[in-house]
Chain A
Amino acid sequence: MAQTHSPSADPSGGATVTTVGGLSTKGLSAGSVGLLGATVIGISCIAPAYTLTASIGPTAAAVGTQMPGIFLVGFIPMLLVALGYRELNNAMPDAGTSFTWATRAFGPWLGWMGGWGLIVATVVVLSNLAGVAVDFLYLLLAQITGNAELAALTDNVLINITTCLVFIVAACYISYRGMETTKHVQYVLVAFQLLVLVWFSIAAFLQVANDTAFDALAFDAAWFNPFLVPSFSAFAAGVSLSIFIFWGWDVTLTMNEETKDPEHTPGRAATLTVGIIFALYILVAVAALTFSGIGAGELGLGNEEIQGNVFAALAGPIMGPFAILLSLAVLSSSAASLQSTFVGPARTMLAMGHYKAFPARFGTISPRHKSPAFATVMAGIVAWGFYAVMRALSTDVLTDTILTLGMMICFYYGVTAFACVWFFRAEAFTSMRAFLLKFLAPLVGGVILTVIFATTVIDSTNPDYGSGSNIGGVGLVFILAMVLFASGVILMLIQRRLHPEFFTGKTLTKGTSLER
């Protein structure tokens, strides 16, 4: 029954507010998403148009023509971790972030760093998304007006970081207001992206067939063999980038209540999503390779000038007047993703604020919009600040942020994978299913990620790594990653000193799957 406050009742009595029967179901309306809807959500999370333009260049630079093969093996660690991730999601449905899971498994210190890794990865991707959106905004304006000079405005650092600020403020504001993209808009955006990317690939193949390609490279089935990558370092860099390109796919696996058939829909949607994404990525990768080659020429995939945002350079030569469609597809994909991605770090920071792992202000919820007010604004400020600093330091800001991002994702996915193994350790050998999904898959996934992470960290010390930006002869990507981790550790120690509740296990306790 609802709490009653009446003249006879003690006004200071313990108020227990109850929800209204039947009215109140939180969460997505149960049973509202079918196979198609779940697949659209999966593809939308990956944002293929954005992901491809940001990753094809760096991947081609790392592994050359073996790009299609790397995309295939790069999916394996993602799959293994996602399987464990799903088990955690089912076991702790009220949690839902790497921060909470890792804290429950490993205690406050590693849990804090897991949450930090997720926040940093998201903030970095936010700045990259905004950066890509800026490039394509000016390219689109140039295409609309027929004035090629407009596209060059993006090279002006001041204009670039100011426009980026506008994008981030807009996305931040939409998140803060709690406004959401409707399902309808999402369907249109996804369909449009797929259509334009297929168009782009076909146009590229036609140019190759007509001998008008930039640097035609004959197709070779050996491109699909990832083991032909020349060195393990290159292989590790490629896998790290592949994890970035599939990032977001795991969301489909954890959609349970909202699907019409929770037993089958999430698994089928995840399979269908990855099938479509595989086909698309391989199509576009092969198209880009056969058209551009991997040389360092004007349109070559090895050209550092274009690597961070390949479609911006290739759209015109390949699609001619229809290049404007590709600009629209990437711009809409990155802008929509920018907005929806704000929600993740903001909510993780809110949870960390609530459990006193972050200053309490991060835990505040806007009473009007019911959104994580302070955390959202902080995510925006940090994302923009990060972008502005990178823009000033790096010769190719987008390439370097993507490489940093790959490392960060490896880190927090790795922590999550091991959290799964450790949390379920007591029941790992109780059944074959538990052994495979709660122990073996996340363990192998976690080990692969650790190896990739360690390799890329070591390699990134080389000043030639990524865009070739360096500080004092040490690669910028390495310095960046270390600054991000070190600032995490420092902030953690400050918080431990000022507000020790979280670190002494007072707000969120450690446990295993059997002692909940």
Chain B
Amino acid sequence: MTDPANYVVAYEATDRGNEAIELGVALARLTAAELRICLVLPRSSAVPAKVPAGASEFDRLLEREAHIWLETALALVPSDVVATTHLLWAESTSEGLLEAAAQFRSDRIVVGAGREGLLHRFAIGSVANALLHVSPVPVALAPRGYRAPEKISRITCAIGTRAGWESLIESMVAISDDLGVDLRFVTLVEVDAVGHRSTPDSAVHLDQVLEHFGRSSTARGAITTEVAEGRSVEAAVEVLDWRADEIAFVGSSRLAQPSTIFLGITAHRMLHVLPVPLIVVPAGEPH
């Protein structure tokens, strides 16, 4: 492909939309990609009622407002990042975003995930949730209140021992291609009350992961591994240190159809406590 990589940013004129733009900017700076800021409007299918709803007039006013919103969005993008804005009409927001991602051949969809959860924590909104069930490209979730750092300094990859982790590694190889960013591979281990580990061979597995990664990686930053233990997935996540200018990667559940995302239980629980953006990578094609 000769076109520069591009990311679809799911925009709406709310904090959530602004957070998506912030994350889009951070990722665009990391990988020199362009942003396609997309605002999806509902294709009117209002059930007609006794009083005609004046759908055409409403659509026109809505479209005018949407252009104003998109101008506001563009103003949020700093001058070192290339961004275009697009107005779409679709049956649902997630459908519109997937259409846009397909049309632009985007590498990623960036969405503000926050809802009325705790500060800086994830509670997935409906659009993000819909995307996390069907998206064929990785979905990047911005936590509440996210602001783009000057530069992302580290990428953490949470990796499990189940089949399918290779496609996550390929994603890591791709995003860190020729970059000086630090990389960290972690496994989260649930430890029960008496100290029994559910997966005793985490460290061995991480070595295997590193070896696999090293074979194809061109990354130039420091690479570390860590095994995080906790009573629960949430506790294990909180054991780890997280930098403000860090992002995390996680794979899709093994329940996912090939090439689509289906967020697993572990990843879902991670989301609740994760203080940094999370990128969910779809399951790879079956081998």
Cβ of A477 under 8 Å from chain B: no
Per-residue 0/1 for A387-408: is the Cβ within 8 Å of any B Cβ (1 yes, 0 no)? 0000000000000000000000
- Determine if B47 and A26 form an interchain contact, defined as CB atoms under 8 angstroms apart: no
State which of A297-305, A320-328, A347-355, A492-500 sits at the interface with chain B: A347-355
In the complex, which of the residues B13, B49, B65, B99 contacts A344, with contact meaning CB atoms closer than 8 Å?
B49
Contact partners of A125 in chain B: CB under 8 A: 50-51
Contact partners of A247 in chain B: CB under 8 A: 50
Cβ of B150 under 8 Å from chain A: no
A345 to chain B, nearest CB (A): 7
A19/B86 contact (C-beta < 8 A), A5-B74, A344-B50 known:
yes
Interchain CA distance A94-B88 in the complex, whole Å: 19
Count A-B pairs with CB separation below 8 Å.
174
- Determine if A350 and B85 form an interchain contact, defined as CB atoms under 8 angstroms apart: no
A47 to chain B, nearest CB (A): 7
- Nearest-neighbor residue (CB-CB) of A129 within chain B: B50
Contact partners of B66 in chain A: CB under 8 A: 17
Contact partners of A354 in chain B: CB under 8 A: 61
- Nearest-neighbor residue (CB-CB) of B71 within chain A: A15
- Determine if B89 and A351 form an interchain contact, defined as CB atoms under 8 angstroms apart: no
Per-residue 0/1 for B80-110: is the Cβ within 8 Å of any A Cβ (1 yes, 0 no)? 1011111111100000100110010000000
A351/B43 contact (C-beta < 8 A), A343-B49, A344-B51 known:
no
- Determine if A24 and B49 form an interchain contact, defined as CB atoms under 8 angstroms apart: no
- Determine if A370 and B61 form an interchain contact, defined as CB atoms under 8 angstroms apart: no
Cβ of B14 under 8 Å from chain A: yes
- Nearest-neighbor residue (CB-CB) of B80 within chain A: A7
- Determine if B49 and A95 form an interchain contact, defined as CB atoms under 8 angstroms apart: no
Per-residue 0/1 for A1-32: is the Cβ within 8 Å of any B Cβ (1 yes, 0 no)? 01111110001000101111011111111000
B52 to chain A, nearest CB (A): 6
Cβ of B196 under 8 Å from chain A: no
Interchain CA distance A47-B49 in the complex, whole Å: 9
- Determine if A23 and B44 form an interchain contact, defined as CB atoms under 8 angstroms apart: no
Cβ of B179 under 8 Å from chain A: no
- Determine if B89 and A25 form an interchain contact, defined as CB atoms under 8 angstroms apart: yes
State which of A38-46, A158-166, A452-460 sits at the interface with chain B: A38-46
Cβ of A254 under 8 Å from chain B: yes
Contact partners of A337 in chain B: CB under 8 A: 49-50
Cβ of A96 under 8 Å from chain B: yes
- Determine if B54 and A344 form an interchain contact, defined as CB atoms under 8 angstroms apart: yes
B28 to chain A, nearest CB (A): 12
| Size class of the A contact interface (CB-based, 8 Å) | 35 or more
A27/B62 contact (C-beta < 8 A), A20-B86, A97-B52, A344-B53 known:
no
Interchain CA distance A46-B99 in the complex, whole Å: 36
Among B43, B51, B57, B88, find the residue whose CB has the most chain A CB atoms closer than 10 A: B51
- Determine if A3 and B62 form an interchain contact, defined as CB atoms under 8 angstroms apart: no
| Size class of the B contact interface (CB-based, 8 Å) | 35 or more
In the complex, which of the residues B50, B60, B63, B79 contacts A341, with contact meaning CB atoms closer than 8 Å?
B50
A370/B100 contact (C-beta < 8 A), A4-B82, A96-B55, A251-B48 known:
no
Cβ of A59 under 8 Å from chain B: no
Contact partners of B56 in chain A: CB under 8 A: 27, 93-96
- Determine if A351 and B61 form an interchain contact, defined as CB atoms under 8 angstroms apart: yes
Per-residue 0/1 for A350-384: is the Cβ within 8 Å of any B Cβ (1 yes, 0 no)? 11001000000001010110101000000000000
- Determine if B80 and A20 form an interchain contact, defined as CB atoms under 8 angstroms apart: no
- Determine if B57 and A100 form an interchain contact, defined as CB atoms under 8 angstroms apart: yes
A180 to chain B, nearest CB (A): 6
- Determine if B88 and A23 form an interchain contact, defined as CB atoms under 8 angstroms apart: yes
Cβ of B213 under 8 Å from chain A: no
Cβ of B46 under 8 Å from chain A: yes
- Nearest-neighbor residue (CB-CB) of A100 within chain B: B57
A96/B86 contact (C-beta < 8 A), A3-B74, A25-B43, A340-B46 known:
no
A26/B59 contact (C-beta < 8 A), A2-B84, A2-B86 known:
yes
- Determine if B53 and A343 form an interchain contact, defined as CB atoms under 8 angstroms apart: yes
- Nearest-neighbor residue (CB-CB) of A32 within chain B: B45
Interchain CA distance A348-B58 in the complex, whole Å: 8
- Determine if B45 and A248 form an interchain contact, defined as CB atoms under 8 angstroms apart: no
Cβ of B67 under 8 Å from chain A: yes
Cβ of A476 under 8 Å from chain B: no
Cβ of A259 under 8 Å from chain B: no
- Determine if A28 and B43 form an interchain contact, defined as CB atoms under 8 angstroms apart: yes
A37 to chain B, nearest CB (A): 11
A251 to chain B, nearest CB (A): 4
- Determine if B103 and A370 form an interchain contact, defined as CB atoms under 8 angstroms apart: no
- Nearest-neighbor residue (CB-CB) of B43 within chain A: A26
Contact partners of B87 in chain A: CB under 8 A: 17-20, 24
- Determine if A27 and B52 form an interchain contact, defined as CB atoms under 8 angstroms apart: no
Among A19, A24, A178, find the residue whose CB has the most chain B CB atoms closer than 10 A: A24
Per-residue 0/1 for A111-131: is the Cβ within 8 Å of any B Cβ (1 yes, 0 no)? 000000010011001000000
- Determine if B47 and A44 form an interchain contact, defined as CB atoms under 8 angstroms apart: yes
- Nearest-neighbor residue (CB-CB) of A19 within chain B: B87
Interchain CA distance A60-B74 in the complex, whole Å: 62
Cβ of B70 under 8 Å from chain A: yes
A19/B88 contact (C-beta < 8 A), A96-B56, A370-B42 known:
yes
Contact partners of A94 in chain B: CB under 8 A: 56-57, 60
Contact partners of A370 in chain B: CB under 8 A: 41-42, 62
- Determine if A23 and B100 form an interchain contact, defined as CB atoms under 8 angstroms apart: yes
Contact partners of B67 in chain A: CB under 8 A: 17
- Determine if A365 and B61 form an interchain contact, defined as CB atoms under 8 angstroms apart: yes
A484 to chain B, nearest CB (A): 16
- Determine if B43 and A29 form an interchain contact, defined as CB atoms under 8 angstroms apart: yes
- Determine if B85 and A24 form an interchain contact, defined as CB atoms under 8 angstroms apart: no
Interchain CA distance A337-B67 in the complex, whole Å: 32
Cβ of A250 under 8 Å from chain B: yes
Among A23, A121, A248, A345, find the residue whose CB has the most chain B CB atoms closer than 10 A: A23
Interchain CA distance A17-B41 in the complex, whole Å: 14
- Nearest-neighbor residue (CB-CB) of A255 within chain B: B48
- Determine if A4 and B84 form an interchain contact, defined as CB atoms under 8 angstroms apart: yes
- Determine if B50 and A97 form an interchain contact, defined as CB atoms under 8 angstroms apart: no
Per-residue 0/1 for A97-115: is the Cβ within 8 Å of any B Cβ (1 yes, 0 no)? 1001000000000000000
20 contacting pairs across A/B (C-beta < 8 A): A2-B36, A5-B74, A5-B85, A7-B80, A17-B70, A18-B86, A24-B88, A25-B89, A28-B43, A29-B43, A93-B56, A94-B56, A118-B51, A180-B46, A250-B52, A340-B49, A343-B49, A347-B57, A367-B14, A368-B14
The 6 A-B pairs of least Cβ separation, nearest first, read: A344-B51, A367-B13, A96-B54, A248-B50, A340-B49, A97-B54
Given contacts A344-B54, A351-B58, A368-B16, 10 further A-B contacts (CB under 8 A): A3-B85, A5-B74, A5-B85, A18-B87, A94-B56, A95-B54, A337-B50, A341-B50, A354-B61, A367-B69
Chain B residues proximal to chain A, CB less than 8 Å: 12-14, 16-17, 36, 41-63, 65-67, 69-71, 74-75, 77, 79-80, 82-90, 96, 99-100, 103
